[in-house]
């Protein structure tokens, strides 16, 4: 059977994908930091759009239950950010404060690994975009998509590097 495309709501599907990305980010932090899935944890969200805030407001109950959260809070620009484990989800940062939850050395190792991974990907993308043959032969949409990936990856690496420096300073 095939779904009836006329009955599918793209906005609802996008909201569900956002919810899945946030929950996956929280679960990844739990797994990497060896935090029990049964332990309720506080979560902070940062650098999201107005659309992300709307989705949080509409789906707070689902997030609290599915991700087993103690609390979820939106950080405004300029708010003090406590030392936290970070994941990027749906273009925003998902932070789990480390106070009493996370081993500092393990978090430094994890963030260093993420920074290295992002740096390698940036190198790969820069090499691809620096290849004049690729830029000349590829459709403009593909080249633009690769440039957007490079910009996103550079931004992500800078955020991870900033978080790494904060944790090292503890």
Residue pair 42/71 in contact (Cβ under 8 Å)? The answer is yes
Is the pLDDT confidence value at 104 over 80? no
Indicate if the pLDDT at residue 102 is higher than 70. no
- Mean pLDDT confidence for 46-75: 90
- 93 — alpha (psi -120 to 50), left (phi > 0) or beta? beta
Q: Write down the pLDDT at residue 78.
A: 79
Is pTM beyond 0.85 here? no
Nearest to 46 by CA among 15, 20, 25, 70: 25
Between 76 and 24, the more confident residue is 24
Instruction: Please state, as a whole number, how many other Cβ atoms lie within 10 Å of the Cβ of residue 2.
Output: 4
Take residue 144 and report the two structure tokens written for it: 């633009």
CA atoms within 13 A on the CB side of 83: 18
Over residues 37-47, mean pLDDT? 89
What percentage of residues in the chain have a pLDDT greater than 90?
Answer: 34
In angstroms, rounded to a whole number, what is the distance separating the alpha carbons of residues 23 and 21? 6
Instruction: Kindly state the average pLDDT of the residues 89-114.
Output: 81
pLDDT in tens, 3-38: 776 777 788 888 899 999 999 999 988 887 778 888
- Residue 124, pLDDT > 90, answer yes
In Å, what is the CA distance from 108 to each residue of 1, 82, 169?
Answer: 49, 15, 11
The CA distance from 48 to 75, in Å, is 9
Query: Average pLDDT over the chain, rounded to whole?
Result: 86
The arithmetic mean of pLDDT across residues 126-143, rounded, is 90
């Amino acid at each position: 059977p095939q779904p009836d495309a006329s009955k599918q709501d793209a906005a609802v599907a996008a909201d569900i994908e956002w919810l899945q990305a946030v929950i996956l980010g929280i679960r990844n932090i739990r797994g990497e930091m060896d935090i029990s899935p049964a332990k309720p944890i506080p979560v902070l969200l940062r650098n999201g759009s107005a659309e992300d805030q709307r989705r949080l407001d509409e789906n707070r109950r689902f997030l609290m239950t599915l991700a087993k959260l103690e609390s979820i809070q939106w950080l405004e620009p300029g708010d003090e950010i406590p030392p936290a484990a970070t994941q990027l989800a749906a273009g925003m940062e998902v932070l789990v404060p480390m106070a009493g939850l996370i081993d500092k050395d393990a978090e430094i190792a994890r963030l260093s690994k993420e920074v290295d991974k992002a740096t390698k990907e940036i190198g790969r993308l820069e090499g691809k975009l620096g290849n004049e043959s690729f830029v000349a032969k590829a459709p403009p949409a593909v080249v633009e998509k690769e440039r957007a990936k490079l910009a996103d990856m550079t931004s992500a690496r800078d955020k991870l590097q900033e978080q790494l420096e904060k944790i090292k300073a503890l």
